[in-house]
Chain A
Amino acid sequence: MNAELSERELISALATGDVAPEGLAAALAFASPEAPAERGAGSAPVLAPPPRGNSDLLEVAMGPHHPSTHGVFRMDVTLDGERVVRLKPVFGYLHRNHEKIAEQTSYLGSMPYTDRLDYFCSLTNNWAYALAVERLAGLAVPERAEYIRVITAELTRLLNHSCLIGFLTHDMGTMGTPLMYAFREREKILDLFEALTGSRMMCNYMRFGGCRAELPPGWLEQTRSLVDEFPRFLDEFENLLSTNEILLARTQGVGVLTRELAVNAGVTGPMTRASGVNYDIRKVDNYGIYGRFPFRVPLGEHGDVYDRYMVRALEMRESIGILHQALRDIPAGPVIDPKAKLRGFRPKPGEAYGRIEAPKGELGFYLISDGSPNPYRYRVRPPSLINLTILEDMCLGHTVADVVVILGAVDIVLGEVDR
């Protein structure tokens, strides 16, 4: 009887307007599962409904087959009406134990597997792995290879940030229009990668001590023309999105992340800079030759989804600045250290941790070598997985639509989360 009573109270409460319509959903959701069981007595035997925990909450599993989870990823969300009360992310659908495979393959053999980690930015994955092995074995990298690494990494950053903004606005409901503009620009960059490395997304281009192949003729001119045109596309994106009132309403104040929690939770990349933490590994570690290119690091104050969007947009403009300088003064010379051995590479026993500023955050490789051609322990520090640690903290209290937008702004790729 109490189901009807609470229902009548709620409906009257709704009429007086002090309970938002969502409250009605919770009540009706409470009443609905029992109802079919009795009414369905006549038809086929109905399985007893699953035992209901706290009865007026709605457990919804968003994923793994969900249009906006950026891959095979599930969130067990408990809703009070439309408000999120509890959110437990579930991973592992794409887990292929990349690290165990790496322990049974040679150092060189793992390089193509790193393309499959964050399959959006394969060249930065390669660079992080090559940097870690170079630190492990103490290899030197010639000048021209360092320039090529900076150029390809910054091109990957442009590609990743523009596509991320496209996916984020797609989650918000634009029918993929910004996404298609971002993909139009991405195609040009992928053509450059295909001309240089042979494959659009699975580049496998860096080697320990440099890069695999020399720049094909005309590649630098194509890159220069692309980099000159890119600001026009950024302005187009800026006009389309940055002052759009609906986008402002949907993102400002949503999924706020405080500075202290960002640092303590190990959040890195544009997400932590949007919360005002000034930590860009290109400036902190000065790896490669980033010290030679003066560039600025945009910081946000509010740490909400809008700041993450704007920080990525501004970072793209900085990357263009770096690309201009790198393309201007790239020297001639070998692309790989002549002494670098391709096969039978056996670093001395020891361990090393190398990290770079990947578009998604700090991508690190921790290698322990015992002198054999296979690494003893090969560990990937995945920025996507660690940025997800505080997904629940950001989503509590928001609605289902916000959860999707917040997840979109975290920028995860499941290849890297699950490894």
Chain B
Amino acid sequence: MSQPLEQLLVRLKDWLVLQCPPAAQGLVAALIPAAAIVAVFASLFALTTLLERKGLGRLQNRLGPNRVGPFGVLQPLADGLKMLIKEDIVPRDADRLVHLLAPVAMVVPVLLAYAVLPFGQRLVAVNFDAGILFFFAAGATTELAVFMAGWSSRNKYSLLGAMRAIAQMISYEVPLILSAMTAVMAAGSLSLVDIVGSQAGYHWGWLPRWHAFTPWGFAGLLLFTIAATAESNRTPFDIPEGESEIIAGHLVEYSGFKYALFFLGEYLGMFAVSGLGITLFLGGWHAPVPALEWVPSVAWFFAKLFGFIFLFIWLRGTLPRLRTDQLMNFAWKFMVPMVLVNLMVTAVWHFTRSWHFSGAGLWRWLVGALLLAGPYLWLGRALAGGRRFGPRSYHYAS
């Protein structure tokens, strides 16, 4: 698959590395992908703030920003500039050092996590053989940053917000990792490049071998997305900065550039987690249809990434927010059991690989789907039914 277009970026990098003196070549070979990642994803962050506001606007029958530049394209520039020149207020009682370090501790680890994501064919910054382990290790520090922000601001609201954030992120780290384990088990390797490799090719010539098209893969993708939404504090789970309750949670005492850094960190976290979701379940940079193989693989990765971004915006525009204790119940009483069931279904899927009679694929699919649907309905009803939730009928006065 060595189409000329495909390897353009890789050959460009190799050509650049050759330009500089041999002593610095190793360093430059590492710096170029790092610079590329930071540049691309920072501008994607800017674009997403615009997409978010325009998307929310369209969901709500209005236009969204369209005054700054044509169709509001320069709005992110305006927001960025505003954030830069706004006064950076630090409360007198705040613990200055921790208050300053919190946003940095939020952004840097998330950028680390991008090192292992395969953006395209042979387009991965560092090809770890334990890539996913590194990703979760780097990604887990955001809780620390949030609590540093909450604690150091010495403010009641920020303390409440920080406590909520800790509880939420710890509870959703477990289902996030376990739902990722299903893809690792299926691909048999911790390296993201191998996982994407195992999803190459097509069933019957048209259905791509993505994990998402297997029962456990589809369930895994759903559970992974829910856990990812909670990890990145997005809408059904944006409790740490529940605007209508405790204003901006741990971000209450932040303003100016530190506030913008926090948002950069949050959005980068969102892209990283959805990037991982794409790599594990949606075939990373593989094309969905054989006819479109000629399109460079990077484009597919970013197309799927925009799909995830739109999903997050769509969720943000529709769903109300969960309460902290409901969040906990949902995580521990629904997500964790479902993820364990999903691991079991992956095992069943793996060991029924040897079925070769006619219609084996369909039968395996049915068995997997049934094994998942049963617990889903039972757990869902137990979570809701337990407190008699459900639509009610109303009578009228005589």
Contact = CB atoms under 8 A, between A and B. Distances in A.
Complex: A in contact with B (CB within 8 Å): yes
A120 to B, nearest CB: 19
A195 interface: no
Contacts of B15: none
Contact of A399 (B56, B320, B323, B389): B323
B391 A297 contact: no
A245 B319 CA distance: 10
A250 B244 CA distance: 14
A52 B387 CA distance: 38
A169 B394 contact: no
B397 interface: yes
Interface string B82-111: 000000000011010000000000000000
Interface stretch (B154-162, B212-220, B222-230, B341-349): B154-162
B238 A173 contact: yes
A177 B394 contact: no
Contacts of B151: 28
Interface string A375-415: 00000000000000000000000011110100000000000
A211 interface: no
Contacts of A180: 60-62
Given A177-B60, A246-B321, A297-B397, A306 B160 contact: no
Interface string A52-75: 000000101000001110000000
A172 B214 CA distance: 36
Contact of B92 (A44, A172, A283, A301): A44
B387 A175 contact: no
B245 A174 contact: no
Nearest to A247: B320
B333 to A, nearest CB: 12
A170 B61 contact: no
Contact of B318 (A25, A39, A174): A174
Given A296-B396, A401-B245, A40 B93 contact: yes
B332 to A, nearest CB: 11
A176 B60 contact: yes
A242 B323 contact: no
B396 A404 contact: no
Given A25-B163, A82-B324, A310-B392, A177 B318 contact: yes
A139 B396 CA distance: 35
B159 A32 contact: yes
A67 B387 CA distance: 30
A402 B242 CA distance: 12
B7 to A, nearest CB: 42
A243 B398 CA distance: 27
Interface in A6-28: 20-22, 24-25, 28
Interface residues of A, number: 64
Interface in A147-173: 169-173
Interface residues of B, number: 50
B244 A22 contact: no
Contacts of A170: 244
Contact of A300 (B92, B95, B236, B394): B394
A240 B387 contact: no
Contacts of A169: 320
B326 A250 contact: yes
Most chain A CB within a 10 A radius of its CB, from B239, B387, B389: B389
Nearest to A32: B154
B319 A60 contact: no
A244 B318 CA distance: 10
Interface string B303-341: 000000000000011111111111000000000000000
Contacts of A28: 151, 159
B126 interface: no
A128 interface: no
A240 B318 contact: yes
A160 to B, nearest CB: 20
A311 B244 contact: no
A299 B317 contact: no
A314 interface: yes
B232 interface: no
Contact of B245 (A248, A296, A297, A400): A400
A94 interface: no
B318 A248 contact: no
Q: Which of B239, B320, B322, B390: most chain A CB closer than 10 A?
A: B320
Nearest to A25: B163
Contact of B384 (A68, A249, A314): A249
A246 B322 contact: yes
A298 B60 contact: no
A116 to B, nearest CB: 26
B388 interface: yes
Given A297-B396, A399-B325, A401-B324, A175 B317 contact: yes
A170 B319 CA distance: 10
A348 interface: no
B388 A252 contact: yes
A253 interface: yes
B397 A299 contact: yes
B166 interface: yes
A25 B245 CA distance: 17
A315 to B, nearest CB: 11
A175 B242 contact: no
Contacts of A311: 394
A278 interface: yes
B389 A248 contact: yes
A149 B324 CA distance: 46
Contacts of B156: 29, 58, 60
A7 to B, nearest CB: 13
A245 B389 contact: yes
A36 interface: yes
* 6 A-B pairs with least C-beta separation: A173-B321, A180-B60, A172-B320, A296-B396, A68-B244, A278-B397
26 contacts: A22-B163, A25-B163, A32-B154, A36-B93, A36-B154, A43-B92, A46-B93, A67-B243, A82-B324, A169-B320, A174-B318, A175-B56, A177-B59, A177-B60, A180-B62, A242-B391, A248-B390, A250-B326, A252-B388, A280-B397, A296-B397, A299-B397, A301-B392, A302-B392, A314-B394, A401-B242
Given A174-B317, A297-B396, 4 more contacts: A280-B397, A298-B396, A401-B323, A401-B324
